[in-house]
Chain A
Amino acid sequence: MVATAPSVQPSSGETTRARPRGRWAGPIYSIAPTLVLVALFLGPMVILLYYSFQKASLAGAGGWTFDNYTSILTDPTYAKVMLTTIVICTISMLIMLAIGLPLAYILAMRTPPRFELLLLLMLVIAEELNPLIRIYAWRMILGRGGVINWTLQTIGLIDEPIDSLLFSSTAVIIVLSTTYISFTTIPIYAALKAVDPDLLEAADDLGASFFTTCRKILLPLAAPGIFVAIILVYIPLFSEFAAPALVGGTSGYMIGNAIQEAILESGNRGVGSAMSFMLLVLSGAVAWIGYRMAKIRRLQATS
């Protein structure tokens, strides 16, 4: 496995020059990426932490303080925004899992190979397209003169267009839960693809119903994929701000909007970076819980 062992002698003298395989090859390869990350990833993170403990002032930083955090934690406005964010993200994530799990199962186990490839490609391409364009497209469906209102009016179900479809938390949930379907489905698909079909046959032979098979075999084996899907989707959802800004109105105002407003509009760097940092800690906690759960599930499945 380890390629560093110089097990093969070079056949001619000239090849000994500049062979990046010795003790230093790994560190040499890693220098440039590490420097970039330390300067431009860790750097911003440290600055974020620094500003979150600084008093707000026009000059930028005005001495150490804990006020930014206390003002966020005690202000009921922020608590409400946080609650909205958690509710929107969680509902969207559940919807995506409700779509992604069966979709991954069908793709991995129940689709003829030709269609499997085509559908996977469609999922990937949907992901490639610009998310802002997708948000905008939903405005045309949910809006006052949009497709849904027009259809309902034409059928005669409603007399006046429903305004609350757009610019509401519902709109944000609809947009978000259709934006990340690919990211939810593909990791679960990958996990299920690795499942030995014999396992399912064995369960079947032993008289297990479809739901028992799902619960005892498919779900535990899909758990690592679900964990990856949660990392990839649930965490970014919390910092979403384009979708709530474009379709959210006031009831869909999320923590990302609050951060954007604090930093870019009111210039309150202290509160903005404190919120960002708390969001970062929350993301870390979600990732850790997801990781633990995936691990426990897997242990149960193998024991």
Chain B
Amino acid sequence: MSTSSTSLDPPAETGKRHGSFVVGGREGRARAASIVRWTFLVVVVIVLYGPLLILALFSFNDSIVIALPFKGFTLEWYREALQNPLVRESLKNSLAVALVVTPVALILGTMAAFATTRFRYRGRGGVAGLAAGPLIVPWLILAVGALLFFSKLKVPLNLRTIAVMHIVVAFPLVAAIVTARLVRFDHRLEEAARDLGATNREVLRYITLPHLVPALAAAGILAFSYSFNNFVISFFVGGFELTFPIWVFSTLRHAQNVPIVNAISTLVSLAQLLIVYVAWRLWRRRSRKMTANDDPMDMLW
């Protein structure tokens, strides 16, 4: 709505759009303010993405030393990175862990969200507070605690302990996202479905779940990247196992910049971008379909 974007220009409530800029009565001042805003936005985008772009550029640089000026174009670093056994192992481990963590976190998180929003019982506040814990306690502290905990119980440290601790931090996030969605859910829809003779399972299948799909999809992507990107927890509770962030860290810790890290980082970042892009397209298509046709069958996929 244009009111929200024009209302701050002094007498520009009647402001009309000119391209992407809003031009109001005091045209000069409004235009100056607009230029300042766009410059600011561009600077922020450069700060956020510029470093990654430079990292990607250096991955094609034909020199073992990462420094300007560029020496020429090569794909050698990509070949080396993809053939490096440690890179392959760490990526495989990270993917395996994230693929286990994501569904478990979705299930536990959704259960926690239902438990804290849909029912009233003694101890509900306690459950909600407990589920907020891992979101507030810094990961480093939880990681140290978990390391001491596992070693006290003589649990061997490996990918399993990594996955378990990733679940502990990821599912409260899922719970928070699903809770936010459930709170905005109109329960009369479920009541209406029951009035019309729907069974419990049908209500869940055709009313509640379709409503939760966007939240679950977003939560799933976030849980996956929480796990895939997590460094601190894996570093402490992973023993000698290698995950991708641990490999990056230990490679960079005692070495100068390494071109194969550039190459593999570029590939991993592109893959992550692709996942978000595909999810975004799917969501767009779904929401367009939903407005065109209100059949709940379509809302699910």
A interface residues with partner B (beta carbon < 8 Å): 1-4, 7-8, 10-12, 14-15, 18-21, 23, 25-27, 29-30, 32-34, 36-38, 40-45, 47-48, 51, 60, 99, 102-103, 106, 108-113, 115, 119, 121-126, 128-134, 136-141, 143-147, 150, 178, 181-182, 197-198, 200-201, 204, 210, 213, 231, 235-236, 238-242, 245-246, 256, 259-260, 263-264, 269, 272-273, 276-277, 279-280, 283, 287
Min CB gap B204→A, angstroms = 10
Q: Which residues of A contact B119 (CB under 8 A)?
A: 3-4, 25-27, 29
B140 in contact with A241 (CB, 8 Å): yes
Q: Which residues of B contact A273 (CB under 8 A)?
A: 144-145, 148
A141 in contact with B51 (CB, 8 Å): yes
Question: Once bound together, how far apart are the Cα atoms of A23 and B22, in whole Å?
Answer: 56
Given A19-B200, A143-B257, A276-B144: A115 in contact with B130 (beta carbons within 8 A): no
B interface residues with partner A (beta carbon < 8 Å): 1, 3-5, 7-8, 10, 13, 17, 20, 22, 37, 40-41, 44-45, 47-49, 51-52, 54-55, 58, 65-69, 108-109, 111-112, 114-116, 118-121, 123-124, 127, 130-131, 133-134, 136-142, 144-149, 151-152, 164-165, 167-168, 171-172, 175, 187, 190-191, 194-195, 197, 199-200, 221-222, 225, 228-229, 231-232, 236, 244-245, 248-249, 252-253, 257, 261, 265, 268-269, 272-273, 276, 280
10 contacts across the A-B interface (CB closer than 8 A): A3-B190, A19-B200, A27-B119, A30-B111, A45-B137, A102-B40, A130-B244, A139-B252, A143-B66, A181-B48
Question: Once bound together, how far apart are the Cα atoms of A144 and B172, in whole Å?
Answer: 42
Q: Which residues of A contact B194 (CB under 8 A)?
A: 8, 10-11
Q: Which residue of B lies closest to A106 (CB)?
A: B37
Determine which of B1, B20, B131, B236 lies in contact with A37 in the assembled complex, contact meaning CB atoms within 8 Å.
Answer: B131
B269 in contact with A181 (CB, 8 Å): no
Q: Which residue of B lies closest to A130 (CB)?
A: B229
Q: Which residues of B contact A128 (CB under 8 A)?
A: 221-222, 225, 229, 272, 276
Q: Which residues of A contact B164 (CB under 8 A)?
A: 40
Question: Once bound together, how far apart are the Cα atoms of A60 and B152, in whole Å?
Answer: 8
Question: Once bound together, how far apart are the Cα atoms of A90 and B285, in whole Å?
Answer: 43
Question: Once bound together, how far apart are the Cα atoms of A39 and B185, in whole Å?
Answer: 32
Interface centre among A36, A122, A235 (most CB of B within 10 A): A36
Q: Which residues of A contact B7 (CB under 8 A)?
A: 109, 197-198, 200-201, 204
Considering the complex of A and B, which 9 residue pairs feature the smallest CB-CB distances, nearest first? A145-B67, A26-B119, A44-B145, A30-B115, A239-B138, A137-B51, A239-B140, A29-B115, A33-B112
A197 in contact with B4 (CB, 8 Å): yes
Min CB gap A120→B, angstroms = 11
Question: Once bound together, how far apart are the Cα atoms of A283 and B139, in whole Å?
Answer: 12
Determine which of B47, B111, B152, B200 lies in contact with A29 in the assembled complex, contact meaning CB atoms within 8 Å.
Answer: B111
Q: Which residues of A contact B229 (CB under 8 A)?
A: 128-132
Determine which of B45, B146, B249 lies in contact with A40 in the assembled complex, contact meaning CB atoms within 8 Å.
Answer: B146
Given A40-B146, A47-B149, A48-B145: A139 in contact with B165 (beta carbons within 8 A): no
Q: Which residue of A lies closest to B275 (CB)?
A: A128
Min CB gap A161→B, angstroms = 10
B54 in contact with A147 (CB, 8 Å): yes
A122 in contact with B48 (CB, 8 Å): yes
Question: Once bound together, how far apart are the Cα atoms of A240 and B133, in whole Å?
Answer: 18
B37 in contact with A7 (CB, 8 Å): no
